[in-house]
Amino acid sequence: MSEPLLQIRDLKVHFNIRAEKSWPWEPPRVLKAVDGVSLDLHQGETLGVVGESGCGKSTFARAVIGLVPASAGQVLWRGEDLTQLSHAELRERRKDIQMIFQDPLASLNPRMTIGDIIAEPLVTYYPRLPKAQVKEKVRAMMSRVGLLPNLINRYPHEFSGGQCQRIGIARALILEPKLVICDEPVSALDVSIQAQVVNLLKQLQREMGLSLIFIAHDLSVVKHIADRVLVMYLGNGVELARKPALYAAPGHPYTRALLSAVPIPDPDLERGKAIQLLAGELPSPMAPPSGCVFRTRCPLADERCAKERPRLAGEGEHLVSCLKAG
């Protein structure tokens, strides 16, 4: 196998939070949004990242692209550590790493036409490119994502949510990047539109040789697009495996609980399946449990789980962070 395109090593993103009425000499509390995630991503591969709200998925994505600073660890892009680059150097690397955001309408400037929105990265990185050539590239990309080129002078509010997400995809791909980070790109869309957007991303990936990091709550959506899946809980990666292995034989109790909540289209199977409900609420990332971060909601937890913090480990490509796995 070729060298990884992206290598993430023990990535941490911690925020210092100071209480509103705290004394100036009191130390701030630390919010551990991402607390030691490691993985590799290869050319043309799609990594799905799943977990409930508050598990650190979006912060992880923003740290990879440099929108939030990493507190520790490395983000190696073709062997170069992005966390050590200056602002100007990181800006230059962003030509190869682009992002699609969750809310399609909120991510578009309402005062700009969609032609200007899609062209903005080209104008930013290639200011000497002739306007006619910019417009030609924008029209070609609009056609590629399923938008009529004659709508180039319309404004975002004139489009549906699905069309606005296609505009966001066109903007992200206009520079022909190598990696696209999709931060819950279909969660705000209707189910039928979700399928269209996922199929569009898969088609563009094949045509352009893209690598994708696809973040989602819905494991059924991730199943249709991912090659491998990272399951996150409270800022930690608790399971990392190839899609068939993870969906057929999940190794972590949290992954099993998430999969049990995915609806089955067969009514008889749906009625007969056992749903594994999680006890309690997601702990605060400012006060994570000792030892295994999942132990306060885990049906298998014992005294050892409160003392030892497991790390992702296993045989081959199926890695599980659980003292009870095996």
| pLDDT number for residue 188 | 79
Residues 212-267 have pLDDT tens digits of: 999 998 888 899 999 999 999 999 999 999 999 999 999 999 999 998 877 777 67
Q: Do 243 and 228 meet the contact criterion of CB atoms below 8 Å apart?
A: yes
Q: Name the more confident of 103 and 100.
A: 100
Q: What is the enclosing helix (H) or strand (E) of 319?
A: strand 319-320
Residues 6+ apart with CB under 8 A from 225: 46, 48, 198, 201, 202, 212, 214
Q: What is the mean pLDDT of residues 46-72?
A: 93
The answer on pLDDT for 27 being more than 70 is: yes
| pLDDT computed for residue 135 by the predictor | 96
pLDDT at position 290 over 80:
yes
Show the CA angle centred on residue 113, arms to residues 112 and 117, nearest 5°.
Answer: 70
Rounded to whole angstroms, the Cα distance separating 22 from 322 reads: 37
Across 34-57, average pLDDT: 93
Structure tokens at 284: 């605060």
Comparing CA positions, the residue from 104, 99, 97 lying closest to residue 196 is 104
* Whether residue 1 has pLDDT greater than 60: no
314 close to 239: Cβ distance less than 8 angstroms: no
Give yes or no for a contact between 16 and 52, defined as CB atoms under 8 angstroms apart: no
pLDDT of residue 324: 82
Query: What token pair was written down for 99?
Result: 């992002």
Strand order in the sheet with 80-81: 29-41, 6-17, 72-77, 80-81
β-bridge partners, 49 = 215, 230
CATH topology of domain 6-45+52-89+217-320: Rossmann fold (3.40.50)
According to DSSP, the residues that pair with 77 across neighbouring strands are 6, 80
Residue 2 is classified by DSSP as P
Average pLDDT value for the chain = 90
User: Do the bridges between strand 179-183 and strand 97-100 make them parallel or antiparallel, or are there none, so unpaired?
Assistant: parallel
Q: What's the pLDDT at 63?
A: 95
Q: Tell me, what DSSP letter sits at residue 296?
A: G
Return the percentage of the chain with pLDDT > 90, whole number.
67
3-state secondary structure of 175: coil
Task: Spell out the domain ranges in the chain.
Answer: 6-45+52-89+217-320
Q: What is the largest CA-CA distance in the chain?
A: 68
Let me know: does 288 contact 234? Beta carbons within 8 Å: yes
The model's confidence at residue 272, banded by pLDDT at 50, 70 and 90, is low
65-80 confidence digits (pLDDT tens): 999 999 999 999 999 9
Question: Which tens digit of pLDDT belongs to each residue from 298-326?
Answer: 988 899 999 999 988 887 889 999 988 76
pLDDT score, position 314: 83
b (16+ CB within 10 A) / e for 110-120: eeebbbbbbbe
